[in-house]
Amino acid sequence: MRGNDNAGAKAADHLDFAEGLLDLFDASDRRRGDYLERIARVRARLGDDRFYLAVIGEFSSGKSTFINALLDAEIFAASALVTTSASVRVRYGPAFGVRAVFGDGSVWERTAGAGEHLDGARGPVKPADGGFDGEPTTRQVREHLERTGVLEALTILTTDPGVAPQVERVDVTYPSALLETGLVVIDTPGTNSGDGEHGHAHAAIARQVVTEADLAVVVSAESKIMTLSLQDFLTGALDEGLLARCCFVITYADQIEPDEFDDRRRDAARRIAGPLSLTDPPIIFASPKQVVAARRGTLPEDGAVWVERFGATRRWLHRIAALRRPAAVADTALRLLQELLDQLDRELEGEMRTLEKRQHELDAVAPADMEDFLADRLTAGVRSIRRAEKRALTRVGDLTDSATDGTESAIRAAIAPCGNGKAIENVVRNEVPSLVRDRLNTLAEGSATAVTEILRRELTTQAEALRAAFTAEYSKLERIDAAPLTGDTAHVGLAGIVVGADTFSAAAAIGADDSTRDALSFGGGVGAGALLGTMILPGIGTVVGGALGFVVGALFAADITKVRARATEKATAPVRPVFLEAGRQLKDAVAGSADGCEKELRRQAAWYRRTYSKTIDALHQEHHRRQKSLNSRRDRVRAAQKESAARGRSVTAERVRLRTVDRLNTTDPFGGWND
């Protein structure tokens, strides 16, 4: 018992070690909870003083008959059909009861009444046919089971071809003397399913059940010891450690002649040990059918010896399960630990590869590349703005020429109807200034509208192109976990264009200054001007002064036609220089507005450059943080793997010791031993 206590302490230590590794998972990782739950189940197993015996065998190997003989009760039907993919656990209970869990999560359970106990002899249990039309629903199955007895319900759940595949687990309680000693028998589906779907499912069940069991009994018929299909199943489902938990029961042993036992025992050892790579595997010969026949009252005269021998087999199996339990539980704990380490190792390697890939991606999108990328697109954008500037200048020139011609024509049209000098003087003094002011105002407003539209459209186009190009490049960073691009990257500043418009509006105020108008009234000559806003023009005096001086001097001329012609000439002559100067300053305003557009585009490029550089720096910092964290995790996993390997060697040594004890104490091929 001291050895058992020591093995239990080792298993608990394995579990403590495994639980300590769980902080390598994120707190939100659901697998952390899954492993905690599994560790808790193994801890509970440590505190469970029952012994778990798994039974594995092909269909028609006598597996069900063997379990019935163990329990000394016929509760399992023998079936050669592929039916359930569920395990059936049989433990002690004061009454015969069945609890089934279906694939949809629903549960059905029933405990037998007083008249349903299986005491005494009874006939064989045959596979069930519930009489369902096609595959029934789970609800239909449960309703049908409510109308049956417990034994019939168990038979339907495990053998009915329409019901059994829907069952995930069956738990049975039974008042068996063997079970009352603390033994739990776990029946598994037949191994030779004949198809891939059932085969994989049955292999998974066998692996899980044997992992939970202290001892696994592999049942083979005497005429089919270790068939190729059974060999393939065992080597595929169980690894070396789980195979070491197996003992082998050869059924139908009553068909062997007594003088052939030694040869058949050696032959069985050769057939089992070689293919499974086992050394001296425990092998027991039995005839469970004779035990069942004794219950039915049909035991032949030569069958009594096999009933007696099976009693020894029961005791031997119980003893071996008890002996192997500490090592089996420790091995289960170690397997869970190793699975956890393997999981962490795979994840660690994957994360390291991902980190290396990210580093390559970071190297491929360095800030120097973005500097060239933005410089190329900025150069192209500035060129487009300057081409737009040329279009705007051409438009201002066209508007200026049109305004000049229109103003001259308007002055001629105003003077033409005048019949005397006084009328001409009135036109020149009062109408011409207003006319020039209106025409300059129209020129300024038209130029502002045209230039703003041309430059605004171009700046918007180039800013959007720059934004789209940068966003496409930045998305490469987002694929390596960069923060999403934030900020109003589509904003286009129009400050430069607005400044230009202020300059344009100054043209509309020419001649509005009262002092300028007073100067004109007194014959202010050519050179009088106005300084308004940011625009300096010769002023209305340029247009009025010369013509007014001529008219005043010719008030009494006889030929009014000549006076009118001369006055028109004097009044229109300065118009072109005035408008040309206005056009020149308007073009200067265009250049200023274009400079503003270029400045805005460069501002946006600078923002993109800073954003990209900051993002790259943040990615590098995060990369180094992850690398440091992963290196720390890797060191812990590597250290844990070394520790796990040492723990594994200890458990393996315990397995070898227990197998040696089994071999030394087994005195006959039926399970007898000497204490």
Measured between alpha carbons, how far apart are the two ends of the chain, in Å?
A: 15
Q: What per-residue string of b and e applies to 324-334 under the rule 16 or more CB within 10 Å gives b?
A: bbbbbbbbbbb
In 3-state terms the chain splits into helix, strand, coil percentages (rounded to 5) of 65, 10, 25
What per-residue confidence (pLDDT) applies to 671?
61
> CA gyration radius for the chain?
52
The helix (run of H) or strand (run of E) holding residue 231 is: helix 228-237
The dihedrals phi and psi of 577, each to the nearest 5 degrees, come to -60, -40
- Is residue 209 a contact partner of residue 244, using CB atoms and an 8 Å limit? no
How many other CB atoms are found less than 10 A from the CB of residue 505?
A: 18
Residue 401: per-residue pLDDT? 94
Structural domains of the chain sorted by starting position, each given as residue range(s) with its CATH number in brackets: 3-360+652-662 (3.40.50.300), 366-479+493-512+528-648 (no CATH)
Q: Which residues of 607-624 are buried (b: 16+ CB within 10 A; e: fewer)?
A: ebbebbeebbeebeeebe
The C-alpha atoms of residue 597 and residue 381 are separated, in whole angstroms, by 10
Over residues 36-93, the pLDDT tens digits come to 888 888 888 888 888 899 998 887 778 888 999 999 888 888 765 555 668 899 999 9
Please give the structure tokens belonging to residue 128: 């069930």
Q: Closest Cα to residue 442, out of 592, 579, 590, 541? A: 579
Does the structure show a pLDDT above 50 at 636?
A: yes
CB 475 within 8 Å of CB 411: no
Coil, helix or strand at residue 418: coil
> If DSSP codes are grouped into helix, strand and coil, which group holds residue 632?
helix
- What are φ and ψ of residue 162, in 5° steps? -90, -20
Q: Are 533 and 502 in contact (CB under 8 A)?
A: yes
Identity of the amino acid at 146 = E
Mean pLDDT, range 452-473, rounded to an integer: 89
Please state, for a pLDDT cut of 90, what percent of the chain lies above it. Answer: 17
Half-sphere exposure of 645 (CA within 13 A, CB side): 5
Dihedral pair phi/psi, residue 108, rounded to 5°:
-130, 135
Tens-digit pLDDT profile for residues 409-461? 999 999 999 888 888 888 888 888 888 888 988 898 888 889 989 999 999 99
Report pLDDT digits (tens) over 490-520.
444 444 444 344 444 444 443 333 332 322 2
pLDDT computed for residue 547 by the predictor: 45
Helices 575-665 & 540-553 angle (0-180, nearest 10): 170
| DSSP label of 479 | T
pLDDT at 8 over 50: yes
Torsion sign over Cα 152, 156, 160, 162: positive
Burial readout 635-669 (b: 16 or more C-beta within 10 A, e: otherwise): ebbeebeeebeebbeebbebbeebbeebeeebeeb
pLDDT band at 246 (very low <50, low <70, confident <90, very high): confident
Whole-model pTM? 0.59
d(CA 317, CA 323): 10
Task: Map residue 588 onto helix, strand or coil.
Answer: helix
8 A C-beta contact, residue 591 and residue 389: yes
Give the model's confidence band at 108: pLDDT under 50 very low, under 70 low, under 90 confident, else very high: very high
CA–CA gap between residue 230 and residue 228 (Å, rounded): 5
Is 561's pLDDT higher than 80? Answer: yes
Inter-residue contact 215 to 294 (CB < 8 Å): no
